[in-house]
Structure 1
Amino acid sequence: MSLLKILYYPDKRLRLIAKPIDKINKSIKNIANNMLYTMYKEEGIGLAATQVNIQLQIIVINKIEQQKTNLVLINPKIIKKEGNISIEEGCLSIPDYRASVPRANYVKVQAINLYGEKIEIEAESILSICIQHEIDHLKGKLFIDYLSKFKQERLKKKFEKINKKRKIVF
């Protein structure tokens, strides 16, 4: 397995919209496995392909709460939302920053698994939040987009300075 390079905010590639996947093949399976490996190594609970500069609709989610195994969701789509919840979220692409974001407490999601089968997942609480967060990434949206414009501008300047120190160029 390979460790994939995570893109850091404000990298413009994080704003790209992922393309749907037509066919599950060895390449897609390798991408998903590398994403899982990267998520574990970076100590995340979820990762979207767009965060590792792969513009395909794939998200992976660690075993959390009611989930007994890791999730790999291809072309995920939320078909139902209910309730409200807000917790401090973080993101591997925006390290060392957390903020409360309004989300649905319950979601029902349609997706394709690594075997090419259509599946439906129902999730509540932290799993629901994680799925919504990762699906947002596939749409070019970050959790900080839910913050005020003032906070967003401050964060952008802060992370531009941090990335200069890390010698990360976009």
Structure 2
Amino acid sequence: MDIEQTLERPLDGKILPLCTWPDPVLGGECTAVRAVTDEIMDLARNMAATMYASQGIGLAAPQIGQPLRMIVVDVTGPDKREQLITLLNPVIEHAEGCIDSDEGCLSLPQFRANVERAEVVRVRGQDLEGNEVVIEAEGLLAVCLQHEIDHLRGVLLIDKVGRLKRSMYERKIAKRVKRA
């Protein structure tokens, strides 16, 4: 099945504010999307617009304050915008191999980390028409899918690093908050 999802006018969506760590919405388990409604279609459009405007290649619903099992991904982005994938209720069915991935996260401004990810994954979910979709992915797409699905379980990139790196970032954020 073709995994590319086209949203009618995805860039006509609203650019929504991003939730940043340590916002509690980022640390919780997300609820399944039960039906594809007009609200879900609007949310998908808004998520795509927000992801592109933020120069990202993936975004999960909790990153915009919606604790729903929904992600958008486009590894051709943020400039080309040629392969938008929208998945509802995605789960990783199979993972194999191991690669080191240098990652950033829109919810962790100015934070990058090298983490281990599976090299190849099979992800199952639904598209915006409610059809089942299975994606066999490797490389950057596999990494991006794993990263966004982690968000749906309340797992952030900062949760995958050592205490020292986490502590340094916590101090950086605390200083930023004091100045604000």
Whether TM-score is above 0.5 comes out as yes
Q: How does 1:102-121 map to 2 (within 5 A)?
A: 102-121=116-135
SS at match of 1:87: strand
SS at match of 1:150: helix
Q: Indicate the residue corresponding to 2:50 in structure 1.
A: 38
Amino acid at match of 1:112: Q
**1:23 correspondence with 2:35:** yes
Q: Aligned partners of 1:32 and 1:161: how far apart in 2? A: 34
Q: So what's the TM-score if we normalise by structure 2?
A: 0.87
**1:74 correspondence with 2:88:** yes
Where does structure 1 differ by over 4 angstroms across 4 or more consecutive aligned residues?
none
Shift of 1:151: 1.9
Q: Percent sequence identity over matched residues? A: 39
Q: Aligned partners of 1:12 and 1:156: how far apart in 2? A: 15
In structure 2, the CA distance between the partners of 1:87 and 1:63, relative to structure 1 (3 Å rule), is closer
Amino acid at match of 1:137: H
Question: 1:62–1:71: 8 Å Cα contact kept in structure 2?
Answer: yes
Q: Indicate the residue corresponding to 1:151 in structure 2.
A: 165
Structure 2 unaligned regions, length at least 5: 1-12
Question: 2:75–2:140: 8 Å Cα contact kept in structure 1?
Answer: no
Q: So what's the TM-score if we normalise by structure 1?
A: 0.92
How much is the aligned-residue C-alpha RMSD, in angstroms? 1.6
Structure 1 unaligned regions, length at least 5: none
Question: 1:10–1:159: 8 Å Cα contact kept in structure 2?
Answer: no
**1:59 correspondence with 2:71:** yes
Q: Indicate the residue corresponding to 2:6 in structure 1.
A: none
SS at match of 2:42: helix
SS at match of 2:155: coil
Q: Indicate the residue corresponding to 1:49 in structure 2.
A: 61
Which whole-Å deviations, capped at 9, do the CAs of 1:136-161 have from their partners, x for residues lacking one? 01111101211112221221121122
